[in-house]
Chain A
Amino acid sequence: MIKYRKNIWEFANPNNFLRITDKITPFFIILTIITLSTGIIWGLFFTPEDYRQGSSVKIIYVHVPTAFLAINIYFMMFVTSVIWLIRRHHVSLIAAKSAAPIGFIMTLSAILTGAIWGKPIWGTYWAWDPRLTSFSILLMFYIGYISIWQTMKFSDKIADLSSWLCIIGSIFALMSRYAVFFWDQGLHQGASLSLDKKENIDDIFYFPLLLCMAGFVFLFLTLLVIRIKTEIQKRRLNILLSTGNT
């Protein structure tokens, strides 16, 4: 049983983290399966076709959640990197490290689904539109962050450097975003979802889209937790292997 804890930072202890996530992960997996399957099936088979875009509108159920996650995973990495630099919690660092490949795949799939949708509707797979440009810039920063982990051997120094790289990346990704939006709004339409109801899409598309977004968020959480657990076990094994031979 999970005891009452006074301080949120106690979850950053790898032991506590492993114990709690061992209990939570099955629920995450079940929730992912339920929301994602109902959202995708409802969206793909039980919604009408758009009067202008035809059935190609249905790619929205993959495109919007992945794009949403692509941006927010980088933001999450920024927050966890700052926490690592300030409070030195290893789980936070490992969370940033484990989230990066997932975010990379999400960015890539948002770009690819957008390209597939763009061919029949815009007539081109790729245009140097502000939103597309800023996503390709985001992809570059993901590549930079992943490459520092792939090429250098793990140490606390590399952990600090990668956190700084993440912070630099988020500053300059934001600056590039405003740079590309400075002159024109481009070809891409505005946000499909927003909290003020006025510019939302129609209710028929809205609810399956919400389900899909929840499904993708749970998918991300499941993958993240599993990756963090693997990473913690891997580091423990490495420590055991390096000290066991004495």
Chain B
Amino acid sequence: MKLNIHLFKYEMLFALANKSILLSSSFFVILIFTVGIGFGQTGDSSEKTVIAIIWIATALSSLLSIKEMFQNDFEDGTLDFYMLSAATLETIICLKAFTHWVTTNLPIIFLIPLISIPLGITFYHSILIALVMLISTPALSFISTLGAALTLGEKGGNLLLSIFILPTFLPIIIFGMKISILITNSTYDIMAHLILFALSLICLAITPFMTSAIIKVHYS
């Protein structure tokens, strides 16, 4: 347990020193405004369009930093030491996914109320959408570890990674979009969050084991 806490501290410090928080959140803001301006030319600026833009921007900006999850550790040999250490690979993967979530998705969630009010969503609705995001984005981070493990050690595997990972985001995006649309229709029940929470928990339960199996393929 002490080792795990130490690893967690190390991972967090490393991720914060990387300035990836700034990068992912600024990418999110820029993406929202470019797509928003594009939709603004069509004259269609309903709440539903803005919600769709927010969801797609979240998925894309969490896609950006997937590649760095294991790549540096794989290249400089840290991952070898992790595999030899007393901490299990699954724990390491959970820590990686959690730090990825904290550094890329959590800033976005805080940005959503700030950014969506000028785009025409009421404050109450934007808080609820941020809540939906808070529950569903851990699933995105955990799924991302699968893609990071699949394209490990592959030079220029970024495009391949997007091809693999974007379709796997779809269940979460579909459920999240539907529930966000329910919020704007005010036919909304707090129980609708449960399915997203369940999806996040399923991903937390399955993906670390699959990811560790995939990483072990690279060492066989």
A140 and B150 alpha carbons, distance in the complex (Å): 17
Residue of B nearest to A140 (CB): B167
Residues of A within 8 A of B166 (CB): 140
A178 and B206 alpha carbons, distance in the complex (Å): 18
The minimal Cβ–Cβ distance linking B55 to chain A, given in whole angstroms, is 13
A173 and B154 alpha carbons, distance in the complex (Å): 25
Partner-binding segment picked from B16-24, B100-108, B212-220: B212-220
Known: A168-B146, A179-B174, A182-B178. A160 touches B167 (CB 8 A): no
Please, how many residues of chain B have a CB less than 8 angstroms from a CB on the other chain?
24
Residue of B nearest to A142 (CB): B167
Residues of B within 8 A of A167 (CB): 210
Is A143 a contact partner of B168 (Cβ separation < 8 A)?
A: no
A202 and B164 alpha carbons, distance in the complex (Å): 42
The minimal Cβ–Cβ distance linking A165 to chain B, given in whole angstroms, is 6
A152 contacts B by Cβ under 8 Å: yes
Residue of B nearest to A141 (CB): B167
Residues of B within 8 A of A183 (CB): 178
B171 contacts A by Cβ under 8 Å: yes
* Binary flags per residue of A170-203, CB closer than 8 Å to B gives 1, else 0: 0111011011101100000000000000000000
A164 and B151 alpha carbons, distance in the complex (Å): 12
A161 contacts B by Cβ under 8 Å: yes
Known: A164-B213, A168-B146. A157 touches B220 (CB 8 A): yes
Is B167 a contact partner of A172 (Cβ separation < 8 A)?
A: yes
Is B213 a contact partner of A165 (Cβ separation < 8 A)?
A: no
Residue of B nearest to A162 (CB): B150
The minimal Cβ–Cβ distance linking A34 to chain B, given in whole angstroms, is 38
Cβ 8 A contact of B214, one of A148, A164, A182:
A164
The minimal Cβ–Cβ distance linking A14 to chain B, given in whole angstroms, is 22
Is B163 a contact partner of A147 (Cβ separation < 8 A)?
A: yes
B13 contacts A by Cβ under 8 Å: no
Please, how many residues of chain A have a CB less than 8 angstroms from a CB on the other chain?
27
* Binary flags per residue of B156-195, CB closer than 8 Å to A gives 1, else 0: 0000100110111011001100100000000000000001
Residue of B nearest to A130 (CB): B174
A182 and B174 alpha carbons, distance in the complex (Å): 10
A175 and B171 alpha carbons, distance in the complex (Å): 6
Residues of B within 8 A of A175 (CB): 171, 199
Residue of B nearest to A139 (CB): B167
A137 contacts B by Cβ under 8 Å: yes
The minimal Cβ–Cβ distance linking A74 to chain B, given in whole angstroms, is 13
Q: A interface, by DSSP: helix, strand, loop or mixed?
A: helix
Is B217 a contact partner of A144 (Cβ separation < 8 A)?
A: no
Cβ 8 A contact of A168, one of B170, B195, B210:
B210
A106 and B166 alpha carbons, distance in the complex (Å): 22
A151 contacts B by Cβ under 8 Å: yes
A104 and B79 alpha carbons, distance in the complex (Å): 36
Known: A147-B160, A160-B217. A182 touches B168 (CB 8 A): no
Cβ 8 A contact of B217, one of A157, A168, A171, A180:
A157
Is B214 a contact partner of A180 (Cβ separation < 8 A)?
A: no
A78 and B208 alpha carbons, distance in the complex (Å): 20
The minimal Cβ–Cβ distance linking A71 to chain B, given in whole angstroms, is 16
A169 and B145 alpha carbons, distance in the complex (Å): 14
Residues of B within 8 A of A144 (CB): 163-164, 167
A183 and B182 alpha carbons, distance in the complex (Å): 11
A162 and B206 alpha carbons, distance in the complex (Å): 18
The minimal Cβ–Cβ distance linking B194 to chain A, given in whole angstroms, is 13
- CB<8 Å pairs between A and B, sample of 5: A144-B164, A157-B218, A171-B206, A178-B171, A182-B175
Beyond the given A164-B214, A179-B171, please list 14 additional residue pairs across the A-B interface where CB-CB is below 8 A: A140-B166, A144-B164, A148-B164, A157-B217, A160-B214, A160-B217, A160-B220, A161-B150, A161-B214, A164-B213, A165-B150, A168-B146, A169-B168, A182-B175
